[in-house]
Structures are given as C-alpha cells and as structure tokens.
Amino acid sequence: MCGIIGISAKADVSNDIMTCLKSLSYRGYDSAGMAMVGDGQISERKIKGKVSNLEDYIKNNPISGNCGIGHTRWATHGEPNTINAHPHTISKISIVHNGIIENYHELKTTLKDNGVNFISDTDTEIISQLINIELMNNKQPLDAFIHAISKLEGAYAIAAIFSDYNNLMIASKVGSPLVFMKSKNKTIISSDAYSIAEFGNNITYLEDGDIITSQNNKIHIFDRALNKIKRPSKRISKRTKDGLNGHEHFMMKEIKEQPDVLSYALSNYLDFTEFDIKENKFDFDFSNVERIIISACGTAYFAGMVAKYWLENIANIKVDLEIASEFRYKKMFFDEKSISLFISQSGETADTLAALKYAKQNKQRVISIVNAEESSISNESDLVLPIFAGQEIGVASTKAFTCQLATIASLVLYLGGLKGAITKEQKETYIQELMHIPSQILQSLEFEQTIKKISKDIYKSSSALFIGRGSTLPLAFEGALKLKEISYIHAEGIASGELKHGAIALVDKNLPVIVLAPDDLFYVKNLSNMNEVYARSGKITMIGKVDNEHLKGLAINGIDIDITGKFNIPIIMAVPLQLLAYHVAKLKNKDIDQPRNLAKSVTVE
C-alpha cells in the first residue's frame, strides 16, 4: 500500500526517487509525490493518480537536489487528491508518512486552538505542523523530530527532510516497515526492500522505536532516549528481491503486513476524519433487504461466520450462512427481500462461483467481497467490495482473512445505520474502535516470542482442540484450519459449551486445547469450560484476558490480549492463531508457503 522512499547522496537524486516510486507502485496507491532540498529551500511536486502522472508533471516542472523524499499514497484521512497527497511541506520541514495517527483529532483540535491553519484533510499534516512548531522554538531537527513523534499514537513510518540542511534525512517507525541501505555514494530509506534492491546488496531493517539520521552519507541510529544503537545489515537474497522483504516465508511477511493493509482496507470504506461511512462505496439498493444469504469456502467461510454474528447482533439483519459447495444442492428459499453475499480471496473459487451463478439464476442480487477486483466473481456481481489486502502468496490465508473482516465490519456499520439499528453516536464509537485495530495488531505481534515457546509444547502432538464462543467461535474453526493446513496436525474447532457433549472425551495430558477467551459476554462461561479441560489435565493455551484472579496458580500458557469491542476482538485475536500455526509448522520443518495437496486459488469443485 503506501510507499516511502528517501535518498541522500552527493549528486542529484530525483531520478533515483522516481525509479523507486515506480517499484513501489505494485503496493497500490491513489496519488504520488516527491520533495527535494536545494539552496536552502524545499521544492515539492505531487499529483493525484499514477506515478506516470507525477513523472510527466516533473518533466514540465523539474526539481533537483541531493536529498529528497517520495511517496505513493493510499488515502486514509482525506479524499485522494493532490492537496492530500504526500509529501506535506510546512515552512522548513517536509515529511512522508505511512500508517494512521490515532489521536489525530485531539492533536488537530489543540493545534487549531493555538492558531495553526491546516492545508489538507490528512492526519499526516499533523506531523509536519508539530515538527515545524518545534523548529520555530529553536530546536535542532533531531530534537524537533523526536518531540513531535512522542505525541503520536498509532502505527506509522515517517521520513523527513529540512530546508536548512541540504543533506539531512530523519526517519522513524512504529508498526509500519522501514529499511535503509548505505552504498558508497548514497543513503536510501524505504518502506519496502524490494523497491531498492537494484541499488545494492545489503539492507538493514529498523525496529519499532528506532530513529535514523542520515547526513552527508553518515548514518546514526538512536532509540527514543537518543542512545546510539546498532542494527545488523543483511545481504539481500533473491528471495528478498522477489518480495519477501527479509522474511523466511511469505506467510510471515503477510502476517506482519496486517497493520498496514488493514489501515488501507478500513480507510477505503470509513472516513476517519469525520468518523463516518463512505456511503458511495456501497452503491446498491438495500432498502427492501431483510435477509442476507452468505456463502464461501474455507477461511472465507469463517469470515462469513463472523459476518453473520455482526450482521444479526449489530445491524439487526437475518443471515443464512451456507458452505458454497453445498449451496446449489439444497432448498435455499430465495425471495425478493433477500440478497446473496459471496466471499472469496481470489475471486475465482469454483464452488463459490457456481453458488453465485445459481443465486443469479434464481434472480438474486449479488454482492461479493474479494481481493481480486478483476475476477470471475467480481464480474458476475452487482456490487463488489474489495478487501485491499494486496497480493497474498502464502497458501494459508492471513491478511486476506482479517481484511475480509475489516470490509465486512464496514458493510455492517453502513447497513446498521441505514436500517436504524445503530445511532450516529454508536456508529462513531464503532469507527473509533476500528481505527485502533492496526496498532492493536501491532501489540499482538509482540507476543511472537511467547508463541514460539508455546509452539514447542504443541508441535509433537497428533491433535489439538480450539474452543470459543460468540464471535470467537469462527476463530476456533479458523485457528484449527491454519494449524492443520501448514503443520498437518489434526485440529478441530468447537463451541466451548459443546465440550461436554462429546469432545471432552479426547482430553488428556497430551492434548493441546487452545481457549479463546476475550473480555466479552462469554468470558466467565469460557473460563468455566476451560476449567473442565484443566480438571482433566488438558494442556491449555489461553488467548484473551489472562490477568484474572480465577486464573492465578493455574499451570496454563497465557497470551494476554485484553481487548473489548464487538469488531476488534475477532480481527485482533486472529493474529496469535496465525503465528501459532506458523511456528508449529516451522518446528515440524514443513513447507509453510506451499503445503501439500493445497492450492491458493481452488478452481475445481
């Protein structure tokens, strides 16, 4: 999605920045721009649309300099236009930024109250304004940068240049990716190793909280307390050049991309500036819809299960959920007040496409939720809701699943408002909840080391149970599917309350039981069901609210994800399940990206 590039050298870097922007184009974007420092001033060029538009613009209005930044933007705050495009230049500072600033409204209100005038509708301009104020208070660039970003909440990557310093770049990251490369004559900062692979063979990945400065080709990395630190460089392999960005497997790369891609998926449908729905994205007559029939396969089916829970409990719309391979072979009871919704990552899933055609034959209006806008399912649909996950290479779906949920959540809010099931105030509260999802996923990724240890307790097992209730029941199914897909361990997801009706017979000291117990309506009941397992010596891993008096002294593995909210629980809790499956499969030395017998796009019945 959004892409950052920054280059400092001994010669003009404008052509190099343009080359990198072209390489970043594969991520998806709606505008592009660059800014250069020269002769004590910043020159900026940006435009709505493709990088080719920017290239033509600069040919007619050239800029040059030995230090510059560039950006391809996917709109989050503010519509996609030239004014909202990056970079954002205020007086002596220009920045580019990926991510979402969650406390944008509070910061903007405070700045406006203090007389600051804003040019754009973006959250990014907040950062430029904050740094500019620090510079006006006679702080040096690095101090100004650090003081400004200390006020930010959210997941982000930022790169800045300064008019009074012809060769200075400063950058930092929390959540969003950022790498740098140093060659003999230039320093390059980018959000994507693939975009700069042609410039050298060694690359360094920055970690969250790192601050990097490049001046006159000298690089320093600091922590927030301005202690100098070092990060190891890695030689770029062919796998990195092919898009792995330093990860061992595409699955892990795609897990780690979720804070970014979810930002863009959500911002396509939700206006984070006004906390409202972008109603033009739902160009469909829902006025007489009283029932939605959802159909999908595999992971997409489990996304449909979450959709059913949300649509019924939030939007107050009846939902029938059907496995796509069964859809055509049963009585469906279509009528004029029902519509059919189909979910598919590839848009080519044969069973789902056949179910869609069957629905159309029965005069159903069709909505599809897909990752591939140009696909067979899209072409057959009356309304297409893209999920904006970007290309997913790993066969086991990760970021496509959470982006499906993000898209569904947006649809639920739209329908809930349209049908009068939620108030304007409730809608705003839900949107604020969704806005925090990227940073909450970032926090859940911090449990990876704990999950690695838990994986050692599971990888030798022959079977595993995943249990949940409410909106986490579909996650129990999805967690079990992930584990069996890539580790080949038999796994089963069941409703926690159903344990005593059969599955508890399987419980012994060798059986891993993964309990999904967030702080929701079902929390106490989930604890009771977990104790049923514990009493029978089951090997428990609990994911959810672990900090509880009733759990003290119990010998269980705990991943403490203490979140509340109807929308964020199933999205956030999907991530540790993905990491668990990954690390179990890695311990078993399995082919994680291409597990046996499976295909990414299932185009046969």
* Same domain for 70 and 16: yes
Has residue 30 been placed in a domain? yes
- Give the pLDDT confidence score for residue 566 in this predicted structure: 87
Has residue 595 been placed in a domain? no
- Give the pLDDT confidence score for residue 373 in this predicted structure: 79
Find the CATH number of the domain harbouring 569.
3.40.50.10490
Q: In percent, how much of the chain has pLDDT > 70?
A: 97
pLDDT higher than 70, residue 28: no
* Same domain for 421 and 461: no
- Read off the amino acid at residue 32: A
- Give the pLDDT confidence score for residue 535 in this predicted structure: 78
* Same domain for 184 and 113: yes
Has residue 209 been placed in a domain? yes
- Give the pLDDT confidence score for residue 27 in this predicted structure: 61
Highest mean pLDDT among 75-79, 418-422, 538-542: 418-422
* Same domain for 257 and 208: no
pLDDT higher than 80, residue 162: yes
Q: What is the DSSP string of 360-414?
A: HHTT--EEEEES-SSSHHHHT-SEEEE-------SSS-SHHHHHHHHHHHHHHHH
* Same domain for 484 and 400: no
Has residue 594 been placed in a domain? no
Q: In percent, how much of the chain has pLDDT > 90?
A: 60
Question: Residues 474, 385: contact at Cβ < 8 Å?
Answer: no
* Same domain for 156 and 24: yes
Find the CATH number of the domain harbouring 97.
3.60.20.10
- Minimum mean pLDDT among 2-6, 50-54, 235-239, 509-513: which range? 235-239
- Give the pLDDT confidence score for residue 269 in this predicted structure: 95
Has residue 322 been placed in a domain? yes
pLDDT higher than 90, residue 506: no
The pLDDT tens digits of the residues spanning 432-477 come to: 999 989 889 988 999 999 999 999 999 999 999 999 999 999 999 9
Confidence class for position 254, pLDDT limits 50, 70, 90: very high
- Give the pLDDT confidence score for residue 390 in this predicted structure: 83
* Same domain for 229 and 94: yes
Average pLDDT over residues 414-425: 95
| Other C-beta atoms lying within 10 Å of the C-beta of residue 61 | 9
Query: Which of 194, 220, 246 represents a domain boundary (last residue)?
Result: 246
* Same domain for 458 and 382: no
- Give the pLDDT confidence score for residue 604 in this predicted structure: 45
Confidence class for position 603, pLDDT limits 50, 70, 90: very low
Mean pLDDT of the chain: 90
Report the C-alpha gap between 166 and 13 in whole angstroms. Answer: 12
Question: Residues 397, 577: contact at Cβ < 8 Å?
Answer: no
The pLDDT tens digits of the residues spanning 340-399 come to: 999 998 888 889 988 999 999 999 999 999 987 778 898 899 999 999 888 888 889 999
Report the C-alpha gap between 417 and 412 in whole angstroms. Answer: 8
* Catalytic sites, residue numbers: 2, 600
Average pLDDT over residues 478-493: 96
> How many domains in the chain?
3
* Same domain for 385 and 346: yes
- Give the pLDDT confidence score for residue 240 in this predicted structure: 52
Query: Which of 413, 435, 457 represents a domain boundary (last residue)?
Result: 435
Question: Residues 487, 581: contact at Cβ < 8 Å?
Answer: yes
pLDDT higher than 90, residue 197: no
Note the pTM of the prediction, 2 decimals: 0.79
* Same domain for 403 and 450: no
Has residue 598 been placed in a domain? no
The pLDDT tens digits of the residues spanning 270-327 come to: 988 889 999 999 999 999 999 999 999 999 999 999 999 999 999 999 999 999 999 8
Please state at what angle helix 424-435 crosses helix 437-445, rounded to 10 degrees. 30
- The burial class, CB within 10 Å (0-12 / 13-18 / 19+), for 123 is buried
* Same domain for 270 and 237: no
Has residue 592 been placed in a domain? no
- Three-class DSSP category at 416: helix
* Same domain for 80 and 7: yes
Report the C-alpha gap between 456 and 438 in whole angstroms. Answer: 28
Q: What is the DSSP string of 73-120?
A: E--SSS-SSTTTSSPEEETTEEEEEEEEETTHHHHHHHHHHTTPPPSS
Highest mean pLDDT among 68-82, 190-204, 307-321: 307-321
- Read off the amino acid at residue 455: S
Domain that holds residue 453: 445-587
